[in-house]
Amino acid sequence: MDFAAARKVMVDSQVRVNDVTDRDLQAALLAVPRERFLPADRAFSAYAEIEPEIAGGRRLMLARDLSKLLMALEPRVGERALAIAGPYAAAVLARMGLTVTAQEAEAEVLDVVVPALAEAGVEGVLAPFTRPTGEGYDLIVSEAATPVRPDAWLAALKVGGRLAVVERSGPAGKAVLYVKGASGVSRRELFDAAPPVLAGLAPEPAFAL
């Protein structure tokens, strides 16, 4: 399979047509081998308009939705980024000149993606998604959805930092952009999306008499 040709078709037919106009982002998507973030026997599915499985039910986000999330973040060269459950996003951001850490909670997922992360110059770490690795990030992104506002992720941002994620508590979800200020956090809805929800992020059930 000609992956380079498939990559160009993906950018032309899934990214550009959805108002993703950032040329640096388009160039990064054309350069990063998305197929390397899947097991070899599923690499053929990397550029289809689906959410291909990495391992254990974890999937890559639709290229259309991820590109729109990344454009909303307005990444800048030299910034520090954390990609939570977002290995492909991590490599794209690194290609755009950011210093990126990719956090995964399951070893079977990290085992698949760590060679491609290393090639991209991205540090891969294993830690629960409820506890972000490090702090003071300029931006955080996830290729998966969260069932509630991820306050622990917001706490890992510096003032002025941005978080782009899909919040989903039912069959549909909303991609949202958070910006952390000195005295609070702003929230802006971006578009409809429905990637799988990350396990382990649901709030503990509350009981009342």
Other Cβ atoms closer than 10 A to 173: 21
Confidence (pTM): 0.94
Quickly list H helices, the chain. 3-10, 23-31, 63-73, 87-95, 107-120, 151-155
Q: pLDDT tens digit string along 89-130?
A: 999 999 999 999 999 999 999 999 999 999 999 999 999 999
pLDDT higher than 60, residue 2: yes
Query: 3-193 adopts what CATH topology?
Result: Rossmann fold (3.40.50)
What pLDDT, on the 0 to 100 scale, is given for residue 19? 92
* CA 182 – CA 208 distance, rounded (Å): 35
Closest CA to 160 of 185, 186, 180, 134: 180
The domain ranges of the chain are 3-193
Sign of CA dihedral 39, 93, 95, 190: positive
Give the CB-side neighbour count of residue 30, counting CA atoms within 13 A: 13
* CA 64 – CA 18 distance, rounded (Å): 7
Q: How confident is the model at residue 151 (pLDDT cuts 50, 70, 90)?
A: very high
